Amino acid sequence: MKTNALHMVGAINEALRQEMTKDERVVVYGEDVGVDGGVFRVTDGLHAEFGDQRCFDSPLAESGIVGTAIGLAINGMRPVVEIQFSGFLFEAFAQIMCHAVRVRNRSRGRFTCPMVIRTPYSGGIKALEHHIESEEAYLAHLAGLKVVIPSTPFDAKGLLLAAIRDPDPVVFFEPKRLYRSFKQEVPEQDYIIPIGKAALVREGTDLTLIAYGAMVRECHEAAAQAEKEGISCQIIDVRTISPIDRETIIAAVQSTGRAIIVQEAPRSFSVASEIMSFLYENLFQSLKAPIARVTGFDIVNPMARGEDLYLPNQNRVFQEIKKVMG
Amino acid sequence: MGIIDKFDPLKEQMVQILDQDGNHKEDMLPAEMTDEVVKEMYEKIWYVRLCNDRAFKMQRSGRLGTFASVKGHEACQLAVNLALKETDWVVPYFREQAIMWDHGVPMENIYLYWKGNEWGSHIPEGVKCLPPSVPVGSQMLHAVGISWAAKMRGEDEITATFFGDGATSEGDFHEAMNFAGVFKTGTIFICQNNQYAISVRRNVQTAAKTIAQKAIAYGMPGVLVDGNDPFAMYAVTKEAAERARKGEGPTLIEAYLYRFDDHTTSDDASKYRDESEVENWKPRDAVIRMQKYLAKKGLWSEKYQEELIESLKPKVEEMVKKIDEHPDPTVDDIFGYTFAELSPEMERQKEYLKKSLGQ
Ligand SMILES: Cc1ncc(C[n+]2csc(CCOP(=O)(O)OP(=O)(O)O)c2C)c(N)n1
Ligand SMILES: [Mg+2]
């Protein structure tokens, strides 16, 4: 099997290129995705290779981008649109909430909406106001929408291919901090990583760390630090926020009896809150310690100079591990 | 009949008073454009431009975050401000260093914001200018609300709001123009059409020939103006301001100009536009035509220029110092402003964060 060392940017680009080659219905559009190749260069080269009809710039209008993609999807195309930054998803929120997620249900299956909304997401690169937030909870709250967040180049390619082939709408969050932070061997061949499946990415026996996106790496580092003190941490990468893989997460926590959920998003009404509640519903009797969360805070996201205060990091995760282990 | 009515946006007629050779149309020259005023504006442009260049260097050395260059937009903005009163409002997007500063926001505030510090947006008391608005197009609606409130409260305040050519594609543009038209608010909409929205050319935003013509559908006048011509920008804005003050409603001004730099410090424009295009626009730069205009009147010389730059440098360094020395946000600071009062849970989160930092 041939593989190439790719950053996440390269892996996503490869997935788009391969699916555009394979499936003529796939079109890619959004702000600056054409000649410029996207502000993060995720769509680099696609315009040159596939031309104006397959990869193109749209007017600067998120509701327009998503709303027209719904129409394209209904009428036989497979749009993969880009919202330049996830902070601007909300200009399109009414189209997602009132239409994309309901097309199948309200037509009792007569019409469907197979589309992907890709968007650079979350913090850690000292970006501008509205370019640092983590919006997954708002989206995950919508019935009828799948929400995916990769944490590695390998997963990004397989998950994106699965998303494009999915019969329903998918929001694909790409953690900006991971775009070029590390490379991984990525198979050239076609493969998918199923939506709705979490992964056990580190074995351990004392405690389960549950994270996604850029926080997976912070967990790996905290786990390595804990290991030096004789604490064995397991890590679950959630990968799909909705529908969430309860089985894998519950089984993991059952095996250790302790859990810490880590996310960048604000603490209240969040993905961590949801994971915590199904863990308690299912495992209350077998827990060795209360479940803990390491999260962002219930405040407006600080801008770049205050970002480090806000974002969970290895240190905060490690402190929590010590606390949970007592 | 005023200037605005004489120029038909559907025929792509553009208001120009000062051309790129520094020649002006005497009959259209506003009386307020005295030599002193022109010279003062010229000097202000240079101050804004030097700050912009200096900020660029700071960004490259990691002392500032990403920001959008104002180069090519200064004269347009300063001319608009000249037609406003101190009591009028300015509602910017994110490329308005010139008018924000001229309307009373200290330059260090503007760049402190781009350093990623919220205190940059702490506009001094009494200055009627909002902080930058990053979500494209969103601020136009606030401008309509602000001018509407002035009308409700019977205040003599009008509002000038800025946005780009790209912003005209957003739904918010339509809604703002529509509300302003329906409620006849005292709003001046200034579209700085700099030909690009990042890499996307103006013709991708709209199939209409001009942006100015969009005004017609909202029941307000629209006018296309040479945005590198401060005389034309002033004359037109002054007229729009008079209309607004008299309760005659909003005006759309399309300032036709050019973004000389990359979109922001994170962009690389060479990927999508030729250097020759930039070179072609350079002679149209307001600085050059004002320089020629002043030179013709014997008010500009190389010596004057050198002295001007030298005299501005310490002012620019003063700004840099204030930005560098500004303290970064603390835990109390990031928690202090989400609500007027912290909830008990926010209080707990704050204490946790302090403890985890060993504070
Ligand atoms: C709602 C929204 N969508 C996308 C962006 C990303 N973005 C920032 S500036 C910009 C282009 C703006 O172009 P224009 O309105 O012409 O203003 P200019 O920057 O050219 O002055 C884009 C797409 C944003 N900030 N807000
Ligand atoms: Mg523009």
The 10s digit of each residue's pLDDT in A41-62 is 999 999 999 999 999 999 999 9
Predicted local confidence at residue B48, as pLDDT: 98
**Which residue has the CA at smallest separation from atom 13 of ligand 1?**
B197
Contact (Cβ atoms closer than 8 angstroms) between residue B286 and residue B98: no
What is the value of ipTM here, to two decimals? 0.97
Which atom from ligand 1 is nearest to the alpha carbon of B137?
A: 1
User: Which among A91, A130, A297 has CB closest to B353?
Assistant: A297
Q: Note whether A84 and A32 are within 8 A (CB).
A: yes
Report the gap between the CA of A194 and the closest CA in chain B (Å): 34
Burial of B244 (0-12, 13-18, 19+ CB in 10 A): buried
pLDDT digits (tens, 9 = 90+) for A276-310: 999 999 999 999 999 999 999 999 999 999 999 99
Q: Tens digit of pLDDT for each residue in B103-118?
A: 999 999 999 999 999 9
Position A176 scores a pLDDT of 98
Tokens linked to B287: 């600085």
The residues of B assigned a catalytic role are 259, 263, 272
- For domain A3-187, the CATH architecture is 3-Layer(aba) Sandwich (3.40)
pTM: 0.97
Q: What does DSSP say about strands A26-30 and A55-57: parallel, antiparallel, or unpaired?
A: parallel
When the pLDDT of each residue in chain B is averaged and rounded to a whole number, the result is: 98
Q: Which residues of A touch B65 (CB under 8 A)?
A: 126-128, 304
Nearest-Cα residue of chain B relative to residue A313: B356
B-facing residues of A in 64-103 (CB < 8 A) are 64, 87-88, 91
pLDDT cut 70: percent of chain A above it: 100
Q: What is the arithmetic mean of pLDDT over A162-184?
A: 98
The domain spans of chain A are 3-187, 199-325
Picking from B117, B134, B169, the nearest residue to A61 by CB comes out as B169
Cis peptide before B250 (omega within 30 of 0): no
Instruction: Name residues with Cβ closer than 5 Å to ligand 2, which is an ion.
Output: B 164-165, 194, 197
Provide the CATH topology of domain B3-328: Rossmann fold (3.40.50)
The ranges assigned to domains in chain B are 3-328, 330-359
Whether the CB-CB separation of A179 and A13 falls below 8 Å is answered with no
The whole-number average pLDDT for the span A120-142 is 97
pLDDT confidence bin for B1, thresholds 50/70/90: confident
Distance separating alpha carbons of residues B238 and B80, to the nearest angstrom: 8
Mean pLDDT value across chain A:
98
CB contact under 8 A, A31 and B115: no
**How many A-B residue pairs are in contact by the CB < 8 A criterion?**
119
Share of chain B above pLDDT 90, in %: 100
Selecting from A130, A303, A310 the residue whose C-beta is nearest the C-beta of B135 gives A130
Nearest residue (CA) to ligand 1, atom 21: B164
- Cβ of B65 under 8 Å from any chain A Cβ? yes
pLDDT in tens, B254-298: 999 999 999 999 999 999 999 999 999 999 999 999 999 999 999
Place of tokens 């926001």: B105
Model pLDDT for residues B324-358, shown as the tens digit of each residue: 999 999 999 999 999 999 999 999 999 999 999 99
DSSP B88-113: SEEE--SS-HHHHHHTT--HHHHHHH
Q: Do domains A3-187 and A199-325 have the same CATH topology?
A: yes
| A74-123 pLDDT tens trace | 999 999 999 999 999 999 999 999 999 999 999 999 999 999 999 999 99
| Residues of A taking part in catalysis | 131
Average pLDDT (A198-203) is: 98
Nearest one of B140, B135, B267 to A86, comparing CA atoms:
B135
Does any CB of chain A come closer than 8 Å to the CB of residue B134?
Answer: yes
Q: Pairing state of beta strands A199-202 and A233-237? A: antiparallel
Alpha helices in A111-240 (DSSP H): 136-140, 153-165, 215-228
Token pair of B40, please?
A: 């003062």
CATH, range A199-325: 3.40.50.920
Where do we find the tokens 């327009």?
A64
Is the pLDDT at B45 greater than 80? The verdict is yes
Residue A1: pLDDT band with limits 50, 70, 90: confident
